[in-house]
Amino acid sequence: MATFISTEHEGAVALVTIDNPPLNALSSALVQELQAELGRLDGDDATRAIVLRGAGERAFVAGADIKEFPALRESGGGEGGAARGIHSLGHRMDAARTPVVAAIKGFCLGGGLELAMCCDVRICADNAMFGQPEVKLGLIPGGGGTQRLPRLVGVGRANLLNLGGEFIDAATAYDWGLVEKVVPLDDLIPAATAVAATFAARSPHAVAVLRELSLTTRDLSLEEGLLREADGFRRCLLSEDGQEGVAAFVEKREPHFTGR
């Protein structure tokens, strides 16, 4: 029975809500439940895109559940404990066929920012605040903040957040490339759902190949990346969705994609 996660559907878009008052802290149980739900949705052919949001008015996710840290320390750190849980969740999201859009309002800090960075696209409200404040506790980001963040905003800007522990606002996050769009708070869910619906209308097979290339070629040479791209194009061209898309264009009709 769901404790922290609820899901509703708008057509082919699943809206997944994280609900752990007051600020949706990422407890280990919540992370496991979220990973299971995202895995279930990824295996559902009727779900072609996901919007991930936080319940309440104050936060997307304000970080890991610090109340769990003393027990973790007593166990010797548990090989990273909560951090490894977020890593596992991130790996599951990376391997998924289904794109995830983060709808961010209020605080998006620590593990919450690390979770948001695992999503394909980040849409935020104009009241959003972002940060990796772990250094203020004598800790470091452990769920991807030292790895995913520099890849998104560059090493220098990542250092500003990681070494200082201070927050940045929505406008700065957009300027840095940490989020793709900033909207008024009341427009957040409609805007994120509209982006997800656009993804959902495309070929699930092509979307999966695009996500695969985006995630697996970023550290390759241009030559190797182009070879991987050419192979991805070939796979799409030979797929049923590729055949349907070309036929629909020639016949001047909307395509009917099946994901095959």
Mean pLDDT, range 240-250, rounded to an integer: 93
Return the pLDDT at 79: 46
62-82 pLDDT, tens digit per residue, is 988 777 877 666 555 554 455
27-74 pLDDT, tens digit per residue, is 999 999 999 999 999 999 999 999 999 999 999 999 887 778 776 665
Mean pLDDT, range 6-18, rounded to an integer: 97
pTM score of the predicted model: 0.92
- What CATH code would you report for 5-200? 3.90.226.10
Class of the domain covering 204-250: mainly alpha
Give ranges for CATH 1.10.12 in the chain. 204-250
Give ranges for CATH 3.90.226.10 in the chain. 5-200
In whole angstroms, how far apart are CA 176 and each of 102, 103, 158?
17, 18, 10
Active site residues: 114, 134
In whole angstroms, how far apart are CA 142 and each of 29, 137, 234?
17, 13, 38
CA distance 50 to 71: 33
Q: Which residue has the higher pLDDT, 260 or 65?
A: 260
Which of 38-47, 67-76, 110-119, 209-218 is least confident? 67-76
Instruction: Enumerate residues 6+ apart whose C-beta is below 8 A from 22.
Output: 56, 58, 59
Mean pLDDT, range 199-228, rounded to an integer: 95
For every residue of 12-56, DSSP letters joined together read TEEEEEE--TTTT-B-HHHHHHHHHHHHHHHT-TT--EEEEEESS
136-151 pLDDT, tens digit per residue, is 999 999 999 999 999 9
Residue type, 168: I
Q: Name the phi and psi angles at 22, rounded to 5.
A: -90, -15
Q: Name the phi and psi angles at 106, rounded to 5.
A: 60, -140
Residue type, 65: D
